[in-house]
Chain A
């Protein structure tokens, strides 16, 4: 994939990093999933692009609630 095509997903990954360094760093809680939600988001963005990657990351975040079981959940 050319860099131009990858730009949107790179933008998304940048935002995830921004979150990690700011808001995420304020909360020492560890995610109940492996890979963690932010890592999952980065992998999903890389693999599936901005739109699908964001939707996948959003769905994972909704699943990462106190009622869910957590566990090993890689990007497919």
Chain B
């Protein structure tokens, strides 16, 4: 019955055929076991999505600069999420920000998941093939809870899912974060019925996300430097101001014009130079 439903929808059967070919290629050409072929496929899929991720990292770095102002907006419209969203969108537009989040990369992984699901359900693995993984999963095409290793895999899944959700999100809302931690526990009840290979896919993709998150977090602190530099400078300025008193007009300036010169130790000289051209 399930088989018929799948083949009634040509797109699904095409997806399944593609996935089967990819898995067979990994297995026969690269000589990987079927389980490692799934891991390989997952890694390839995520690698294909890397350009999208890099773009997201860039926009996240950009977002980080405006974090204080954005937090203020979030605070201001705390009780009206619709208004909050609208105001944030306006803010993005005004400051030429491209928000990091977008739906397409996330949705692109759905067909892969569906294809793998049906492949594991329908594909008749050649008799005698090794369907085990790391000695604790005996059969990747069998239900996860039909084997003891499956329970272990489910535990890994829950932990990796929680970690990946925390790394993926930019949500600062504590209630939202709590929901994210509960979600994997809800999902695990459904996922337990899936073939173990599918859970393996999920674990791999989650671990990739966590790794990516770790790298992203390392990269991101580089950008907020200007904003912290601004704070530092403002705390430094008073004593220096005493020396060079005439800076009153510069104070109301927005922090943005100050950003390009955070490392320069002599910004004041630059300002004076600005006045000098008239003398020259």
Which residues of A are interface residues toward B (Cβ below 8 A)?
22-23, 25-34, 36-37, 61-62, 64-72
Contacts and interface: CB of A to CB of B under 8 A. Distances in A.
B89 A28 contact: no
Given A67-B55, A68-B98, A69-B98, A61 B104 contact: yes
Contacts of A23: 107, 110, 113
Contact of B89 (A26, A34, A65): A34
A28 B93 contact: no
B168 A69 contact: no
Contacts, number: 79
Interface string B95-119: 0001111111111001001000000
B171 interface: yes
Contacts of A26: 161, 165, 183, 187
B102 A28 contact: no
A31 B102 contact: yes
B-side interface mostly: helix
Contacts of A25: 183, 187
A71 B168 contact: no
A70 B63 CA distance: 14
Given A28-B165, A30-B101, 7 more contacts: A23-B110, A26-B161, A26-B183, A66-B98, A66-B102, A66-B104, A72-B90
Contact of B104 (A28, A65, A69, A71): A65
B103 A61 contact: yes
A26 to B, nearest CB: 7
B135 interface: no
B171 A28 contact: yes
Contacts of B190: 22
A70 B92 contact: yes
Contacts of B90: 72
Given A26-B187, A34-B89, A62 B104 contact: yes
Interface string B180-199: 10010001001000000000
B169 A29 contact: yes
Which of A30, A65, A71 has the largest count of B CB atoms less than 10 A from its CB?
Answer: A30
